[in-house]
Amino acid sequence: MTIPSVRSGLQYGALGLPLSFVALPLYVYMPSYYANEFGMSLTLLGALLLGVRIFDAITDPVIGQLADDVFQRGLKLTAWVLGVSAVFLWLGFTGLFFPPQLFFDMGKGNGSGLLIWAVLALLLTYLSYGVLTIVHQSWAARLRGDDQTQSKWVSWREGFALVGVLVASVLPSVSGMGTTSVVLGLTLAMGAVALMLGPAPSRNVHDPKHVAPRRWAQMVQPWHISAYRGLIVVFLLNGIASAIPATLLLFFVNDRLMAQGWEGLFLFIYFALATGSMPAWIACVARWGLSRTWLIGMALAIAGFIGAAFIGAGDIVAFALICAASGFALGADLALPAALLAKVIRRHEADVGREGAYFGWWSSAAKLNLALAAGLALPLLEWLGYSPGTQDAAGLFALTVGYAVLPCILKLFAMGALWVWRMNFDRKGEVNEHVWHSA
Measured CA to CA, the distance from residue 281 to residue 262 in angstroms comes to 29
Other Cβ atoms within 10 Å of 61 Cβ, number: 23
Query: Which pLDDT value is given to residue 205?
Result: 46
Interatomic CA distance for residues 40 and 32, integer angstroms: 9
Rg (CA), the chain: 21
Give the 3-state secondary structure percentages of the chain, helix then strand then coil, rounded to 5. Answer: 85, 0, 15
How many whole angstroms separate alpha carbon 359 and alpha carbon 364? 8
pLDDT of residue 435: 41
Q: Which CATH number fits the domain that encloses residue 258?
A: 1.20.1250.20
CA max distance for the chain: 65
pLDDT of residue 322: 93
**Residue range(s) defining the domain that contains residue 347:** 9-200+214-437
Question: Backbone phi, then psi, for 10, in 5-degree steps?
Answer: -65, -45
Q: Would residue 259 count as lying in a domain? A: yes
Number of domains forming the structure of the chain: 1
- What are the CB-based long-range contacts (under 8 Å, 24+) for 53-57? 53/126, 53/367, 53/368, 53/370, 53/371, 53/374, 53/375, 54/368, 54/371, 54/375, 55/123, 56/123, 56/126, 56/127, 56/130, 56/367, 56/371, 57/363, 57/364, 57/365, 57/367, 57/368, 57/371
Angle at the Cα of 168 (from 165 to 174), degrees rounded to 5? 150
Distance CA 250, CA 253 (A): 5
In this prediction, residue 303 carries a pLDDT of: 92
pLDDT given for residue 108 in this prediction: 60
**Would 209 be classed as within a structural domain?**
no
pTM of the model: 0.68
AA letter at 308: A
Task: Select from 96, 91, 123 the least CA-distant residue to 40.
Answer: 96
Judge whether 3 lies within some domain.
no
pLDDT for 231 equals: 93
Task: Please give the pLDDT value at position 164.
Answer: 87
**Residue 205 in domain:** no
User: Within a domain: residue 208?
Assistant: no
For the chain, list residues with pLDDT below 50. 1, 205-213, 428-439
Whole-angstrom distance, CA of residue 138 vs CA of residue 357: 9
